[in-house]
Amino acid sequence: MLSLRPVFILLGVITAVRAAEIPKAPPDLPPDQRFKTDILLIVAHPDDETVVSAYLAKAIFDEHKRVSVIFGTRGNGGGNEAGNEQADALSTVREIEAREALAAFGVLHVWFLDGPDTPGQDVLRSLETWHHGEALAKVVRLVRLTRPEVILTWLPVYVAGENHGDHQASSVIATEAFDLAGDPTVFPEQLSQPRNRRDINNLTEGLHPWQPKKLYFFSDASHVDFQQGQGPSYNPKAVSPAQGVSYARLAAEEMAYHLTQGDTGQFATDALKKGDLKFFEEPVQLVFGKSLVKSSSTGDILEGITPGSIPYARVSGYQASEKSGLSIELAGPWAFYREFWKAHDILQLASLLKQPEVMISPGEKLTLPITITNSEATAREVTLQAILPEGWREERGRAVYPVDARGSYTVQTVLQSPAGAQKGWVNPDIIWKAEAGGKEIGSIHMRVLIGGGGLPQ
Ligand SMILES: [Zn+2]
């Protein structure tokens, strides 16, 4: 009888040889854990972080959360309260002030996008000067690197108050990055694995898509009424168990690093000297943006957050809407925001304000872009005129406008406010009214706050 034994031995040898021929690969490298962050703060200027620093102190010192920060500019604009350095030199100083201020909170992962300070309140101008696309690519890269659970940023709404165009630009880019960083078709060069990670010629980045879980906003509006109940609120009077002082004091100490800036660094230094922390004791009020995990809108920022990634969540995106007849609408940033909120599924922001509002200084001109739309099949003539409070003057806008069939006409209207206008809300509101064929086709009501100090820097 033939023995099967040699055959088994032979098979065993072959298997052993094959196993020896196939080496085991080392484990794949995970994303760099050193950069994993809980909260990514995306703001415009060095010192913007001070608006929420009382909350950050709680998250960092007492809840041991990791915070990273992106600034849209390095702070090249505005005056210098600490020295003669201006323009590019000033931004060099301000970058260090911001780094030192945040380092005092243990925050070392701080990036600057290099956008220029752009005075004004028009978000579209700031997006232009910041080179929107490049800035967005950088923020998406940093979201993929830092893999935040929460993104915290300025409020993307045109409100009466400082409401800097740069602040709004940082919030628009932050919202876009929240919605895009998890999409592998967006900036795919950031994701493609390099052929050899040790190769000097690597031109792709080896990151991974990342979907942040929650988005929150904060505002520097002149009035807080519309923000109340819209998100969590934190009390800076509370004492930090870890630090043994109030969050208000920690916020003042953080702000005091920004010595080139009169209304923050110098102000905080004086407040600490006097022991008067009233300004810092105002609640930190946040506005809920969205959450992809189960969470209430007014609960803690980190409510519902559990470790690990979540799937990419596609947003609605822009959808064209059909208009009918003749209509007028505010154009420019107002028109942009109407579509932006819908596209990014943060439509609750559309009802924060009862009607549009702006703040100007006494004697300042108010420029409002208005689009007249004709959805009818024939050309029409539309008359635009303003109804103004006492002392106001119409400079540009009142006219009969020819509007093509299925076309539109955008008018830059200009109103002059009285030099001696009282501070406070103008009463009644500014109204632009449009008529066609003797019939009113629509009106725009603008709430105007007379403030002081000219345009924000
Ligand atoms: Zn700012």
Q: What distance in angstroms lies between residue 223's CA and the mean position of ligand 1's atoms?
A: 17
Q: Domain residues for 396?
A: 326-450
Q: Is residue 109 part of a domain?
A: yes
- C-alpha–C-alpha distance, residues 227 and 359, integer Å: 17
203 & 249 share domain:
yes
Q: What distance in angstroms lies between residue 167's CA and the mean position of ligand 1's atoms?
A: 6
| Domain final residue pick, 264, 291, 318 | 291
Helix/strand/coil for 430? strand
341 & 279 share domain:
no
214 & 332 share domain:
no
CATH number for 269: 3.40.50.10320
Structural domain count, the chain: 2
CA angle centred on 50, ends 349 and 175, rounded to 5°: 35
392 & 251 share domain:
no
337 & 287 share domain:
no
| Domain final residue pick, 267, 291, 315 | 291
Confidence of residue 14 (pLDDT cuts 50, 70, 90): low
Q: Is residue 215 part of a domain?
A: yes
274 & 332 share domain:
no
Q: Is residue 80 part of a domain?
A: yes
**What order do you get walking across the sheet with 110-115 strand by strand?**
110-115, 67-73, 39-43, 150-154, 214-218, 287-291
- Name the E strands within 341-436: 357-360, 365-374, 380-387, 393-396, 399-403, 407-416, 424-425, 430-436
Q: Is residue 359 part of a domain?
A: yes
pLDDT for 380-407, tens place per residue? 999 999 999 999 999 999 999 999 999 9
| Domain final residue pick, 291, 309, 339 | 291
Q: What distance in angstroms lies between residue 72's CA and the mean position of ligand 1's atoms?
A: 10
Q: What distance in angstroms lies between residue 26's CA and the mean position of ligand 1's atoms?
A: 47
261 & 339 share domain:
no
Q: How close are the terminal C-alpha atoms of the chain, in Å?
A: 100
**pLDDT greater than 60 at residue 345:** yes
Question: In 10 A of CB 50, how many CB atoms?
Answer: 25
- C-alpha–C-alpha distance, residues 138 and 40, integer Å: 14
Q: What distance in angstroms lies between residue 263's CA and the mean position of ligand 1's atoms?
A: 11
CB 407 within 8 A of CB 385: no
Residue type at position 70: I
Q: What distance in angstroms lies between residue 45's CA and the mean position of ligand 1's atoms?
A: 5
CATH number for 437: 2.60.40.10
Q: What distance in angstroms lies between residue 301's CA and the mean position of ligand 1's atoms?
A: 22
pLDDT for 240-279, tens place per residue? 999 999 999 999 999 999 999 999 999 999 999 999 999 9
pLDDT for 75-99, tens place per residue? 999 999 999 999 999 999 999 999 9
